[in-house]
Structure 1
Amino acid sequence: MTAPHSPRGPVLIVGGGLVGASLAIALDAAGVDAMLVEAASPRADAQPSYDERNLALARATVNGLEAIGVWAHARGRATAIEHIHVSRAGEFGSVRLDARDAGVNALGWTLPARELGAALLRRLEDCTRLQRLAPARLEAFEPLADGWRARVHGDEGVRHIDTPLLVGADGTASFVRERLGITADTYDYGQTLFVCTVTPERKHGHCAYERFSDEGPVALLPLAEGRCGLVLTVPGAQAAEVATMDDAHYLALAQRRFGWRLGRLGRPGRRFPYAIHRVAAARLTAPRAVLVGNAAQTVHPIGAQGFNLGLRDALTLAELVAASGDPGNERMLAAYAARRAPDREGTMAMSHGLVQLACLSQPWLAPLRSLALLACDRVPPLKDALLRRGMGFRGEPPQAVLERTP
């Protein structure tokens, strides 16, 4: 169902990162007028979120990107994840997930964030109901009887924009969230994530690996041309030392942490560090306003849930806005919060609990963890639930992720 043009102005999306751009495209595809305010210039190398991370895109995420016309621009650089292997160093339990067990050709795909960003930019160029202000910055906003009046500063000076719905898609340190008076709970994991690419001695076989240890999780994600994306978590106190390591010492650290399942790791690319925090907004909505993506919740990268969760935010919001003749009305916002709650809360609890439990060093936990992993691997209902959630189908997902198979 396509919503009529709102006489009070376009839906105003603040933040042109991966989630904000996806929302803008989804609204345009639904025939909804929208305006996207992007702090960075409209280039893949200027947008901070289009960085060097290698994203693990759940199957539901790729279905959603296909539905809004983005995946056609990205599929050529993506690598299928057909298997997932989860283990903990020094313990006997493990979980192996296989696409065949779910009756699909892939559980998900890996794609460099910069490539996804470039695909979003190409799709944005085809939008007909969307206005883009870039570079531009939201400076302030004040309430109206039926929306907000925003003051946006860009290359052409200051503009005042009336909107029936203000969307904060402006990241972890969200200006929109702060000015709406929505508090956020913050947790510092005391960890730093390093990402780079490596080439293993053995073929990755389209398998994604997640391995836990007392020092934090490490992951290897399958990429094209036999390479892998290495995601190495280290205690924050060691971050400066790890950042200055030469390649040989860094590879030795990664090898010790990951093991030799793929043989020797070699040819490391440039490393990029990210401090890890959990930030959860106390609520998702305010009158005529809503938060999506990292502005709503920033989760630990364990299990690669961040963008996958944020895209489900965006597609659910676009679905509800398109079905409403009045974007931002109280009933629609209540429906959005209710729809997103099971997925959001379940994903946050999973990522937070998993890193807390899987990386604790207490010896008495070792047999319990191993038994839990064995149960998830051997008990069909548990394994089926893991497969479904791992593919991004949790709670009441947006229809866009269910409608197509790439």
Structure 2
Amino acid sequence: MTDLPSSRGPVLIVGGGLVGASLAIALDAAGVDAMLVEAAAPRADAQPSYDERNLALARATVNGLDAIGVWKHAREGATAIEHIHVSRAGEFGSARLASSDAGVDALGWTLPARELGAALLRRLEECTRLQRLASARLEALEPVAYGWRAQVRTDEGVRRIDAPLLVGADGTHSFVREQLGIAADTYDYEQTLFVCTVTPEREHGHRAYERFSDEGPVALLPLAGRRCGLVLTVPRSQGEAVAAMDDADYLALAQRRFGWRLGRLGRPGKRFPYAIQRVAASRLTGPRAVLVGNAAQTVHPIGAQGFNLGLRDALTLAELVAAASDAGDERLLATYAARRAPDRDGTMAMSHGLVQLACLPQPWLGPLRSLALLACDRLPPLKDAVLRRGMGFRGEPPHAVLERTP
């Protein structure tokens, strides 16, 4: 084992996924020294979070990505979401949201996660103050008077890094969260999520669909070239059988669950399954340490809030650190937790409550659900609130996401 020289001073970010990379870029843009520990090699095909999912990026998210110089590398592959249609199988109510209702050109954009990952990597290469360790793995943490001493294994040996602030951006099963002794509440939805692309018979018209049923939610997201991203949730007990289906049987299942609004679905891409859990850290901060993204909260993918919420974590933290003389100051971390609480709590409650109520197989709930959707569709104050929150403007958002021209 080789001991490399220690360093002191940079914010240490553990985890080079979508949120960790975004935080590193935001800090670099703000002139803050940071070090990014990435488990995978710096390639889009090596980073596990740069996968085959199709992300629905809220308007605030695109504003934020634009502010930190990422969107210029991603906009070409993005597709605008101008309309959203929400319904439940077998019930009469539905809600229709449009960008024109909010006075904007788009409510959000869809983008394959791999393309966003590639855009982040291109922007990381432009950073001037950021240090990157990849492939590297955090092995141990030791508290010291001014922060943390991290032992990081790299291809060249073991490096000891002293940092005034430790950031856990290392995902749902966060090693940093575990080492900090922060408990996490886990809820297993007992569902399996399948994602793939399909090509519908009719044009999607820049419309995203969310449809609920007793079996779980299904979504169709507009993509370039008339394609759509299909997100299909099934009970965990059916996961293996659905994974084993041929394309024809899978399309028949998707057609039954989604319906015929876009005609016949065809040309399915490769399917990727994901187990769905809700994981919520009991607190966001520790002594000179903070959790962001999925390390802080992993939400049900309904409503596509995961990365959107995580990016607001990252940009809020970067904003506070950039204005402070001490990145790990206790008051700074308390301010961070307080600012993130309304957005975090509200988004988690919305995603959890929606999947529980919208998919609950209770006939007596049907009329109530339909009336709720109709109210959202017909009452302007309620629709305005739903639109604003859906676009990512909840609580006290980071300044970087406030309205810009993407």
* Equivalence for 2:4: none
Q: CA deviation at 1:403?
A: 5.0
CA distance in 1, matches of 2:403, 2:228: 30
Is 1:164 aligned to residue 164 of structure 2? yes
Q: CA deviation at 1:40?
A: 0.3
* Equivalence for 1:242: 242
CA distance in 1, matches of 2:403, 2:131: 27
Q: Deviations over 1:348-379 (max 9, x none)?
A: 00000000000001100000000011011111
Aligned ranges 1:221-300 → 2 under 5 Å = 221-300=221-300
Q: Deviations over 1:156-203 (max 9, x none)?
A: 100000000000000000000000000000000000000000000000
* Equivalence for 1:152: 152
Give the counterpart letter for 2:113 in structure 1: A
Q: CA deviation at 1:404?
A: 2.1
- Confirm or deny: 8 A CA contact 2:288 2:328 kept in the other structure: yes
* Equivalence for 1:351: 351
| Percent identity (aligned) | 87
Aligned ranges 1:15-94 → 2 under 5 Å = 15-94=15-94
Give the counterpart letter for 2:220 in structure 1: L
- Gaps (5+ residues) in structure 1? 1-6
Q: CA deviation at 1:8?
A: 4.3
Output the aligned Cα RMSD.
Answer: 0.7
CA distance in 2, matches of 1:289, 1:404: 31
CA distance in 1, matches of 2:223, 2:233: 19
CA distance in 1, matches of 2:129, 2:30: 9
* Equivalence for 1:190: 190
- Gaps (5+ residues) in structure 2? 1-6
CA distance in 1, matches of 2:328, 2:59: 29
CA distance in 1, matches of 2:215, 2:122: 40
- Confirm or deny: 8 A CA contact 1:211 1:218 kept in the other structure: yes
Q: CA deviation at 1:141?
A: 0.7
CA distance in 1, matches of 2:404, 2:157: 43
* Equivalence for 2:386: 386
* Equivalence for 2:397: 397
* Equivalence for 2:115: 115
- Confirm or deny: 8 A CA contact 1:185 1:280 kept in the other structure: yes
Q: Deviations over 1:97-151 (max 9, x none)?
A: 0001100000000000000000000000000010000000000010011100000
* Equivalence for 2:130: 130
Give the counterpart letter for 1:105 in structure 2: D
- Confirm or deny: 8 A CA contact 1:168 1:176 kept in the other structure: yes
Q: Deviations over 1:313-372 (max 9, x none)?
A: 000000000010100100100000000000000000000000000000110000000001
Runs of 4+ in 1 over 3 A off after TM superposition: none
Q: Deviations over 1:224-274 (max 9, x none)?
A: 000000000000000000000000000000000000000000000000000
CA distance in 1, matches of 2:396, 2:158: 40
Q: CA deviation at 1:46?
A: 0.2
Q: CA deviation at 1:405?
A: 2.1
TM-score norm. by structure 2 comes to: 0.98
CA distance in 2, matches of 1:13, 1:113: 21
Q: Deviations over 1:28-63 (max 9, x none)?
A: 000000000000000000000000000000000000
- Confirm or deny: 8 A CA contact 2:8 2:161 kept in the other structure: no
* Equivalence for 2:320: 320
Q: Deviations over 1:44-93 (max 9, x none)?
A: 00000000000000000000000000000000000000000000000010
* Equivalence for 2:372: 372
- Confirm or deny: 8 A CA contact 2:24 2:35 kept in the other structure: yes
CA distance in 1, matches of 2:77, 2:210: 22
* Equivalence for 1:4: none
Is 1:102 aligned to residue 102 of structure 2? yes
Secondary structure of 1:122's counterpart equals helix
TM-score norm. by structure 1 comes to: 0.98
CA distance in 2, matches of 1:137, 1:172: 16
- Confirm or deny: 8 A CA contact 2:111 2:223 kept in the other structure: yes
Give the counterpart letter for 1:116 in structure 2: L
Equivalent pairs counted in the alignment come to: 400
* Equivalence for 1:201: 201
